[in-house]
Structures are given as structure tokens and as C-alpha cells.
Chains A and B, each alone.
Chain A
Amino acid sequence: MNNQDTGAPDFARWVTARYPALVRYGTLLTGDRGHGEDLTQESLVKTHRAWRRLHPDGDPEAYTRQVMARAAWRLGCRLWRGEVPAAAPPDRPAGGDAYDHRDTADAVLTAIRALPAGQRVVLVLRYWAGLTESEIATQLGCSTGTVKSRASRAITALRRADGPLAEAFAHAASDASG
């Protein structure tokens, strides 16, 4: 593997350093670790392609995150709907209470995976990345109204009384009142 092929050792070093964080971001954008890693690698291909203008005088991280958000926004519902990769097959058939024995992290991922891709991406950009509505609209190329409505629907869905996060939000409410 020569330097031209790797796009310079800098690219390899940068990917090695930032890959775990990008996979976490991808996991939130897709609601699934496997899809998140897939999204990360696909986006890093674009970063590699653009590396000469991103390094050392640009910002490969910002570029990659934007590529990831846009890809999840455009492609999420089309390519990944209903398909959840797993490292190993389940050891028991699905059935009964799906949320038995799951911790909060699993419940959150399950809940955001159930959201439509558009709602999920807006939720992550708004509440995890901390972007404003207008920044999200700019990043995704949509209107601020679209961002507001998607965020609102996502929150409503997550807070549903019969949803997997109802208990987590109930704790938050009782903590706040206590």
C-alpha cells in the first residue's frame, strides 16, 4: 500500500484517531452501530477523495460529519429501512416484551431507530450536536420549518407513554420536581 494509495500517512493517522467518535455519531444518525460504521466508512471514502483540499488547510472532521448527516438524511429511509445487521444471530426468537433486560442505552437506540430517518437526523443534530434550527436547515438543505416539525414529531414519539423511553423521561420529570 503506497502513499498515493493511502492518500498520505496523515489520512491514516487522522482516521485512526477520529474513527471511534465518528462511528458513535454514525450510530446515532442511523440508530444502529452496524449501519453507523457503514455510514462512517462510506463518508470517509468521500473525505479521502477530498483529502488534498481538506488537509492540512481544511477541516476533515467537519466535512465528514456533514457528509454523514446529509447521507443519513437522504438515504436512511431508502437503504436501511427494516434491515438491522448484527454481529451474531439472536439466541432466542423475538417475542414477548422486547425491552426486558435491556439497559437504557439499548432502549434509546431502539427508540431512535424506530424514528423516520428525517426525524432521527434532526434530533441528533439538534440535541446531541447542539446545532440551532437554522444551522440544521443549512446543513441539510431544507427549510427551518421542516427542521422544527421533524424535531417536534421526534420528541413526541420518544415521549410516548407506551414507548421504550417513557420510564427514562418519567425519571427526569420526577428528578426535576424533587
Chain B
Amino acid sequence: MASLKDDFKSFRRSWVQHTGMQLATLSVLTATFSVIVFGFALATNLKRVLASWGDSMRLAVYLEDDLVESDIDKIRSELEKIGSIKDITFVPREAATESFRTQMASYAPDLLEDADFSNSFPASFQLSVKGGFATEKDLRHLEQLSAIIQKIPGVEDVSYGQTWVKNYSAFVSALYTSSGVLGLILVCGSLFVVGNSIRASIAARREEIEILELVGATSTMIRRPFVFEGFVMGALAVVFALILNFGFHVWQKSFMATSFVMARLVPVISFLDPLVLVAFIIGGGFVGAFGAWLAVRKINDGWSASQGLEI
């Protein structure tokens, strides 16, 4: 009675006898898990995209106007002492001006004729930070780093697009929190769906349960097939949800590849890692098993189980 083979036989019998009900349950579960998987994949890929943007972020360390070459070298060596800086690029005043002119040429040609703009940009160091930037913790680190650099003699100002970075950080945090809350709600919904399905299954198999009680089956023996059924249903629903989401992912990538704006994001976007896939399947199984256990924990509770029986 307690072998895995028997559990599978019981599961198969349940499907054969209640095909419609089982299909409905599997469909609803698949839909629920599809949303969870979609949300997770979306959050993971947004994190990747944001991290790739974060990687490209630079700190601009603007220098005072009257510095000589030895002062600039001193500042560079001070910056090199800071461990979390990945690379340092010096941009002289002329290069900054030229860069501005190149970028603005097509937008405001008249402005470039203005003599005040010919040499109005300060020299700077452009820094990139190790580990990129993706979380609020990174934001705090960036603020601390900026404060340290600001204290180096000869540094006029440090800029890293503070407003943009704060908004970016808040967006990432909100994304994670809302994904977590949505996931939790959907998992609770899945428990409810599995529980209801198992309750219906119990009602349909009440006679079988009574016969098992009659011949001396213990509570564990009676409950186990239902919990197993919940596990298999949960795991199967996740497998179907993953297949659906993978199909959507393939379509989405091919769609993005045709768009000029989004094409460069294609290499960043990927489906879930194999380990995450396995974790999802096992997790779905456990959600199903737990939902089933909630539904069956009260059946065959020794004496009370017999109350509905008539001899």
C-alpha cells in the first residue's frame, strides 16, 4: 500500500475516473504557475538589463581649473588607492569640449559658434565601479565613494547622475518587492486550488476511503495517495507553465531582435537557469503536496473517521 508504484497507480486511477476534474485542476494550476514563472523570469531579466545598465554607469570626477600635471597625477594616484574602482580614464578640458561639440553639432550648431563654449568644460576623471550597480546597497556604496573622492584636494565636484541613480535604485527595489508579494499571493492561490481539487477527489473517493478504513488502513496510508497526487499535480503544472513560458520567451526574443531599440538587449535576456527550473518543479510539487495535505489532514482521524460510516 505504501510503495511509490501504488501511489502512481492511485494517481492514474484518479485521472481515469475523474479526467474532467483533474484536467480543470491542472489547467488552473498551470495558469497560476505560469504567472509566477513569468513574474520571476521578468524580474530576473529586468535585473540583468538593469545590471548591464549599471555596469555602464560612470562617476565623473571634475577637477579644479588651475591644476598642473603633477596635481592631476596626485589625484590619479589617490583614486587608484580606492579598491572599488575598476578603471580610471582622464578626460582633459579639450577632449571634454570636443566631445560636447560632437554630440551637440546636429542639435545646436549656433551654440557651438559661441566663444564661451569653446573652452568652458573642466578636466575630469571618468571612473567605473567594480561590480556595477543594481541595488540600494550599491547606491549607498556609491554615495560613500563619492564623499571620499570629494575630499581629495583638487577635486571640484563628483557626479554620477544622483537623481537618475536614486530613481533607478527605487525602481529595482519596488520591482523585487512587488514580485515577491505577487508570488506569495499566487502561491496561496495555488494552495487553495490544489486543496479544493483534492477535497473534490476525496468526496468522489469517499467510498474507497471508507473501505480502506474498514480493512485497517492507517491515516498515513489513506492520506498519502492524496498528498502524492497533489505533489504530482503541482510538479506537472510547473512543467507545463515552464514550457508555456519558454515558448513565450523564444517569441519575445525573436520579436526584440527585429526592433532597433531592443535588439541590443537580446544578448542580455535569457530563460531561467537549469537549477532554477529544477527548483521550480520541486517547489511546485511541494506547493501541491502542502495544499493536498491541508485538505486531507482531517480525514481518517481515527474514531472521527468512522462517524460517517453506516453498518
B partners with A: no
